Amino acid sequence: MSLGDDLDALLKPAAAEQTTPPETTRPTPPVPKGWEPGVRYEPGGSMLVTAPAADPPPQDEAGWRARVEELGLVVPNGYRVRLVEARHDPAAWHRDAQGEDAVTRPVWRCRYLIEPSAPGWASAEDLNSLIHDVMRRSRAPRTPAASTDRALAVVYADPQAGKVGRDGGTRELVARVAERFDRLQDHVRDLGKVGRAPDSAYWLDAGDCIEGQENVASQAFTNDLTMTQMVRMHRRLTFEGLDRLASVFPRVVAATCGSNHARVRRGKEAIGPPEDDWGIEVMSQIADAYAKNTDAYGHVSFVTPEPWRDTVSLDMAGTIVGLNHGHQYARPEKAPDWWRGQTFGRQPIADAKILVSGHFHHFRAQQLGAGRLWVQAPTLDNGSDWYAMRSGEVSQPGLLVFSVTADGWDDLRIL
């Protein structure tokens, strides 16, 4: 070919298919925020899969599983795939072919959850079915409880014999205490009927057995008993209560602690060691009397504070129960802190799981720490009018009882 022929060839118009400009490429729309494809691992082993834009989602789990596996994910054994969200995205598009046969279609964005097959209450229907099955279950046959020690605690707190108040004087106190002793007998009978009869009883005297005459000046004019009469009255009431327990239970333990009204005083000042207390003395008198009649009272034992102590602890059916009056702290709210301090100081109630106290003339129960319980006992006295005038609060009298086993406490009542 000559040079002229080459020039002619270069000058000829190009073929049509070579001059047609290429088809304009449509830009890919941006992925909506939060819908970026990927996998997020959830607590409990679940996986949340956000799939790339695709055709409408399948209608069953087999199709959902296939979609997830197309992404290269493996569904572990014991797991299922669930469609949790599907969103039509008209801004996105998909071309099925190129050239004249190309078809542009809107697509769907989907999220799938790969989750354990059990438990299966992922939906409201599943949860309702679970609740229905549990509530309609057949109760398992009741098996007889294993034989275990069970102790009854009777908290005799703050009678303050000799005190006169809004609820009367000595006559009213005796009637109130006698009625509570009758209720105590009913309570013991009721426990036997429900299969929780105690096999031992603990008389817990929480202090302030007498009103005294030395705490405040008004006591000299508001009492209806002399000092020796107060002590005598308390002794006889305690005799009666212990006698009722001793006639029912094969084992009875009587314990008391030091308190403020019963403390031996000169004026407002306590004299002698903490155990120099009329309540402790009366308990010692009763112990001496019972020792003279072992045939009737040989199964009754007594616990009083050690020298220079005013609290005690007792092993009641495998649970340690501490007893204090409560005058050791200014307000009942301080009892938990005081108890913690006693524990750190390895005092008599250091190992107690239950602490029983009096002094504040009202019932209160508070759980503390890992399974410990503080019980503030109600009073048996004729009323604390000075406190009612100052605070507006009126204490309700009662005899506190509860049962104790090695596993804890139950059957707490105010009689």
Average pLDDT for runs of 10 along the chain of length 415: 54 52 57 87 84 88 92 89 88 58 72 80 65 79 75 96 91 95 97 95 96 78 91 96 96 96 88 92 96 96 95 96 94 92 89 95 92 94 76 83 95 96
pLDDT value for 13: 56
Residue 340 lies in a domain: yes
pLDDT value for 21: 47
Residue 256 lies in a domain: yes
Residue 4 lies in a domain: no
pLDDT value for 104: 60
111 & 160 share domain? no
98 & 222 share domain? no
81 & 195 share domain? no
Q: To which H or E segment does residue 85 belong?
A: strand 79-95
CA–CA separation, 245 and 300 (whole Å): 9
162 & 106 share domain? no
Residue 142 lies in a domain: no
- What is the token pair recorded at 346? 């390895």
100 & 212 share domain? no
CATH number, domain with residue 252: 3.60.21.10
113 and 47 Cβ atoms separated by less than 8 Å:
yes
291 & 350 share domain? yes
234 & 326 share domain? yes
220 & 363 share domain? yes
Q: Which of 115, 136, 162 is the last residue of a domain?
A: 115
pLDDT value for 95: 57
Residue 138 lies in a domain: no
Q: Which of 92, 115, 138 is the last residue of a domain?
A: 115
Q: Which amino acid is at 354?
A: I
Plot region of 361 (φ>0 → left; ψ -120 to 50 → alpha; else → beta): left
Residue 2 lies in a domain: no
**Radius of gyration from C-alpha coordinates of the chain:** 42
Residue 136 lies in a domain: no
pLDDT value for 20: 47
75 & 189 share domain? no
| Total count of domains within the chain | 2
410 & 275 share domain? yes
Q: Which of 89, 115, 141 is the last residue of a domain?
A: 115
297 & 200 share domain? yes
Beta bridge partners of 115: 80
| Pairing status of strand 269-270 against strand 252-256 | unpaired
172 & 255 share domain? yes
pLDDT value for 9: 57
Range of the domain at 102: 36-115
